Amino acid sequence: MSEIANCRRIVVKIGTSTLTHEDGHLNLRRIETLAKVLSDFKNAGRQVILVSSGAVSAGVAKMSTRRPINTAEKQAMAAVGQSELMKLYSRFFSDYGHTVAQILLTKDVIDNPARRAAAEDTFSTLLGMGCIPIVNENDSVSTEGLNFGGNDTLAAYVALICHADLLINLSDIDGLYDKDPRRFPDAKLIPRVNGVDERILAMAGGAGTERGTGGMATKLLAARIVLEADIPMFILNGKDPAILYELLDGRHVGTYFAVEK
């Protein structure tokens, strides 16, 4: 695990179900702990990029409305919630002495070489200035065919365009299990995966929670994307973001998707 301890540029993705309470309100304690831990990583000389979901859920909670049912409603709630999210991140990170910068992406930025190069420059300039980029999909203008299909995939592309050393996916589950642990009590956590083949994909099971869009399948596909670019990935349980210290102190937690040498 010493190669993990040495990773300098790290992308951390956190999902909606980890960032919010059951009723969709933002989990302030968790967001604050995350901001504290990531600030400490910065203080220790690492560069951090955060990919955060939660905009739609935060918008719904703020407006005290029902879950959006159509695309326009979802896009409207994302617009409300995204600014709410950034307000909190900005406040918590600045409490620990750091500056955040919002970047909202759509898939066409990744697919278009000129726009992708512009995004790469922006990330590298922000990181050079010591900022913590906080990324989400630009849900308010993103449409079917233009979208990433969820923030697990978005985070994988962010790791690529930031030339990250490591992607950490903070989820509401401890890692990849050999079968669905919510249904099978004897399911075993898989500590290490070398390459995401059909056998591994078959372990993914169904979708995630009602509030998030992810699930294990999108995380495994994200692992496939980053491994192809020689970037390792972890899935960890984000219920206590301090687990990130354990990982970067060299202890084995969660599931490690290793780059095969």
64 in helix, strand or coil? coil
The nearest distance, CB 55 to ligand GLU, in angstroms, is: 3
The nearest distance, CB 11 to ligand GLU, in angstroms, is: 15
**Which stretches of 45-144 are assigned E, i.e. beta strand?**
47-52, 100-105, 132-137
Q: Pick the closer one to ligand GLU by CB: 155 or 196.
A: 155
Tally of CB atoms within 10 A around 108: 13
For 161, phi then psi, to 5°, come to: -75, -15
Q: Pick the closer one to ligand GLU by CB: 170 or 248.
A: 170
Pairing state of beta strands 255-258 and 233-237?
Answer: antiparallel
Instruction: Please give the residue ranges that form the binding site for ligand GLU (CB under 6 A).
Output: 15-16, 53-57, 78, 136-137, 139, 150-151, 212-214
The nearest distance, CB 150 to ligand GLU, in angstroms, is: 3
Q: How far apart are CA 132 and CA 199, in angstroms?
A: 37
The nearest distance, CB 95 to ligand GLU, in angstroms, is: 23
Q: Pick the closer one to ligand GLU by CB: 124 or 209.
A: 209
Distances (CA, A) of 230 to 4, 46, 224, 260: 13, 19, 10, 8
The nearest distance, CB 184 to ligand GLU, in angstroms, is: 25
Answer positive or negative: Cα dihedral of 189, 195, 196, 197: negative
Q: Pick the closer one to ligand GLU by CB: 33 or 53.
A: 53
Q: Pick the closer one to ligand GLU by CB: 32 or 139.
A: 139
Q: How far apart are CA 56 and CA 64, in angstroms?
A: 12
The nearest distance, CB 259 to ligand GLU, in angstroms, is: 24
Q: Pick the closer one to ligand GLU by CB: 150 or 232.
A: 150
Q: How far apart are CA 213 and CA 218, in angstroms?
A: 9
Q: How far apart are CA 227 and CA 78, in angstroms?
A: 30
197 in helix, strand or coil? coil
